[in-house]
Amino acid sequence: MIANDELVFLKLGGSLITDKTKPETVRLDILNRLAWEIVAALSERPHLQLLIGHGSGSFGHVAGARYRVRQGVHGRDGWHGYVATAAAAARLNRIVTDVLWAAGIDVMPLPPSASALCHDGKLVQMAWEPTRRLLSAGVVPVLFGDVALDDRRGGTIVSTEEVFSFLVPILSPGRIILAGEVAGVFSSDPHRDPAATLIPVITQEIAPHIEKMLSGTRGTDVTGGMAAKVQEMLHLVITSPHLKVQIISGLVPGRVQEALIGAPVPGTLIRAK
Residue 72 carries which side chain, given as an amino acid letter?
G
Among 177, 145, 147, smallest CA distance to 163 is for 145
Q: Is the pTM higher than 0.85?
A: yes
Q: Mind listing the domains of the chain with CATH numbers?
A: 4-270 (3.40.1160.10)
What was the pLDDT predicted at 220? 46
What was the pLDDT predicted at 223? 43
DSSP state of 18: B
What helix, strand, coil percent values describe the chain, rounded to 5?
A: 40, 25, 35
DSSP state of 26: B
Number of H helices, E strands in the chain: 9, 14
φ and ψ of 6, to 5 deg: -85, -5
- Which residues contact residue 132 at a Cβ distance below 8 angstroms, ignoring those fewer than 6 apart? 170, 171
Among 173, 165, 152, smallest CA distance to 244 is for 173
Task: Report CA torsion sign: 74, 93, 122, 184.
Answer: negative
pLDDT < 50 positions in the chain = 216-217, 219-224
Please report which helix (H) or strand (E) contains residue 246, including its range. Answer: strand 244-249
